[in-house]
Structure 1
Amino acid sequence: MSIQTALTTEFPELSHLTREDLEDILADPAYFQAIFHTLSKVNELYQNQAELRLANETIANQNLGMQEELYKLRSETKDAFDEAKSLEVRWAELQREQREVYQRFTPQFLLMRLRHATTAQDDLSEALASTFVRSASSETAATPANGKEVDDFVKEFRELRKTYHKRVMWGDRWTIGQVAWRDDVYVTR
């Protein structure tokens, strides 16, 4: 099959042209362009290209029509994301604060506080007794202490020692495992 036959098969519009006409088309660019733009496949290609361009323009116009709404949604999304990030930071702060608060109520911390309070109570009752003994010994030389002062001392000292011994008892129970702590209340066995 010759080139001319293949060309006329592919482009039937050129079948009426002679070999010399085809050679003239190839030799003259203006003539080539004139013949080229009359071919049905080329016109079909241009038509398809125009339809695609029109479809692209339509899509582009639709996209441009949604541009403001998209910018608004982007802004709202960014604001929501920023707020979520700030809430996430706040959540971490609150968790840290909560751990610090809960730390004061852990069994170990409460036992430590009980032991410190027991020691402080013992020191307080001993200080009261020492003060009474010093004041009584200084008063003995000058004036004997009256019964009311002694009764007041005994009453106050007894209350201080009672609290001290209750704390010692709770500490002892804890030490031998008779105190179990739960999240809601403490339980003794």
Structure 2
Amino acid sequence: MSIQTSLTAEFPELSHLTREDLEDMLAEPAYFQAIFHTLSKAKELYQSQAELGLANETIANQNLALQDELYKLRSETKDAFDDAKALEARWTELQREQKEVYQRFTPQFLLMRLRHATTAQDDLSETLASTFVRSTSSEPAATPASGKEVDDFVKEFRELRKTYHKRVMWGDQWTIGRVAWRDDHDGV
């Protein structure tokens, strides 16, 4: 099959052209363009290209119409993310603070506080007794402590010692394992 025959079979619009016309068309680009644009396949190609261009333009216009809303959503999302990060940092800080607060209420810390308070209570009652003894012994023998002063001392000393002995008993109960501390803060 000749080139001209296969060309006219594929492009029937060229069948009316002579061999010389075809050669001129190949030699002259403007002539080639003029003929090429009249071919139905070329027209179909340009038509589908134009349709795709219009479809792309429509999609681009739709995207542009959504652009402001998308920028707004992006901004809101960024703000929400930043807020979430700030809250996460605050949560970490609060957990640390909570741990510090709860540490003051651990059984070991409370026992240590009880022991210190017991020692302080003992020191306080002994200081009161020493002060009373010094004040009564430094006075001249002719003026002994009045009954009211003695009664006041005994009452105050008794209260101090009562508190001291309660604390000693609580410490003893702890030592023998009769004190159970609830550990509710883990679930908070």
1:169 corresponds to? 169
Shift of 1:2: 3.2
Uncovered stretches (5+) of structure 2, i.e. residues with no partner: none
Question: In the TM superposition, what whole-angstrom CA distance separates every residue of 1:88-117 from its partner, at most 9, and x where no partner exists?
Answer: 222122212211111111111111111111
Shift of 1:142: 5.5
- Matches of 1:96 and 1:3, distance apart in 2: 87
- Matches of 2:17 and 2:33, distance apart in 1: 16
- Matches of 1:10 and 1:115, distance apart in 2: 108
- Matches of 1:166 and 1:28, distance apart in 2: 119
Question: In the TM superposition, what whole-angstrom CA distance separates every residue of 1:42-71 from its partner, at most 9, and x where no partner exists?
Answer: 110100010011111111111111222222
Give runs of aligned pairs for residues 83-94 of structure 1, distance below 5 A: 83-94=83-94
1:41 corresponds to? 41
1:30 aligns with 2:35: no
1:187 corresponds to? none
Which stretches of structure 1, 4 residues or more, deviate above 3 A after TM superposition?
Answer: none
**Greater relative contact order (Cα < 8 A, sep 6+):** 2
Provide the secondary structure at the position in 2 that maps to 1:145. Answer: coil
In structure 2, give the amino acid aligned to 1:72. K
Moved more, 136-145 or 112-121: 136-145
- Matches of 1:104 and 1:166, distance apart in 2: 22
1:106 corresponds to? 106
Moved more, 79-88 or 110-119: 79-88
What TM-score, normalized to structure 1?
A: 0.90
In structure 2, give the amino acid aligned to 1:128. L
Moved more, 137-146 or 78-87: 137-146
1:147 aligns with 2:147: yes
In structure 2, give the amino acid aligned to 1:44. E
The two structures, once aligned, show a CA RMSD in angstroms of: 1.6
- Matches of 1:167 and 1:5, distance apart in 2: 119
In structure 1, give the amino acid aligned to 2:134. R
Give runs of aligned pairs for residues 1-189 of structure 1, distance below 5 A: 1-141=1-141, 143-183=143-183
Tell me the matched-pair count: 184
Identity of aligned residues (%): 88
Uncovered stretches (5+) of structure 1, i.e. residues with no partner: 185-189
Shift of 1:141: 4.0
